[in-house]
Amino acid sequence: MDAVLWWHRATPAARARLPPALAARAGLPVTIGGLISYRDGPVGPYREVFGAPVLLRGGLLLSHVAFMAVDSAPSVAGGRGNWALPKELARFDGDAGRPGRVTARGDGWTLAVTARARRRALPAYAAVACAQVWPDGAVREFAVRMRGRAWAGSVEVEHERPAEPPAVEPLRHWLAPGRHPAVLLSGGQLVTPARDG
């Protein structure tokens, strides 16, 4: 996989949109955004964009994927069924996860992300815990682990307002427009099975 991960201050409106089962865990006022290109995997290659506010769990960082869009129907089915991820379908233009401009378009929204990276890469390992609410109301957690090379960088996030602005308003909270610090990663990713949180 190749990924661009960035972070920005979470808006009060974004924190207010957390599922009730997770609202009490709201911690750091930070949201993680990401563009990923999966070159290979159980459902084949696909591209993804997501927004995940950061929570706290006993002082430890925990995230919640509030928005996620992909260009693969099997990925939508697998993500919803295995990890309760709110995946929807989108179209992508550009090489997600690498420097340059990528545009993602979904139902009523358009997002453009321009990524820049420094030349020097370093070995990297990252692990993020995630909490999602299942249709039965249970909160279950899983971990995302990434290993490979990383470059420091930045992104410029832009939104195109549709004819009906309220349709895209939640997305503007999860992935705030503007310039943000970023890390570009290239390597492998492992997602663990979900367990009760």
What pairs with residue 103 in β-bridges?
93, 112
Tell me how far apart the alpha carbons of residues 19 and 8 are, in angstroms, rounded to a whole number: 20
8 Å CB contact between 129 and 141: yes
pLDDT score at 171: 82
Helix (H) or strand (E) holding 74: helix 73-83
Q: Whole-number mean pLDDT of the chain?
A: 90
What is the enclosing helix (H) or strand (E) of 195?
strand 195-196
19 within 8 A of 32, measured Cβ to Cβ? no
Instruction: Show the tokens assigned to 71.
Output: 């260009």
- Which CATH number fits the domain that encloses residue 159? 2.40.400.10
How large is the average pLDDT for residues 65-93?
Answer: 96
Number of structural domains, the chain? 1
CA–CA gap between residue 194 and residue 53 (Å, rounded): 19
Reduced 3-state DSSP string for 26-71: EEEEEEEEEEEEECCCCCCCEEEEEEEEEEEECCEEEECCCEEEEC
Which of 23-27, 69-73, 155-159, 168-172 has the weakest average pLDDT?
Answer: 168-172
Q: What is the pLDDT of residue 163?
A: 47
Query: pLDDT tens digits, residue range 156-185?
Result: 999 986 544 444 466 888 899 999 999 999
CA distance 119 to 67: 31
Q: Which tens digit of pLDDT belongs to each residue from 98-139?
A: 999 999 999 889 999 999 999 999 999 989 899 999 999 999
Tell me which residue has tokens 């979470």. 10
Q: Identify the domain containing residue 34 by its residue range.
A: 2-196
Q: Which of 8-17, 64-73, 147-156 has the lowest mean pLDDT?
A: 8-17
Which residues, 6 or more positions from 50, have their beta carbon under 8 angstroms from its beta carbon? 33, 34, 36, 65, 67, 68, 69
Give the type of residue at 164. Answer: E
Q: Which residue has the higher pLDDT, 171 or 31?
A: 31
Average pLDDT (48-56) is 90
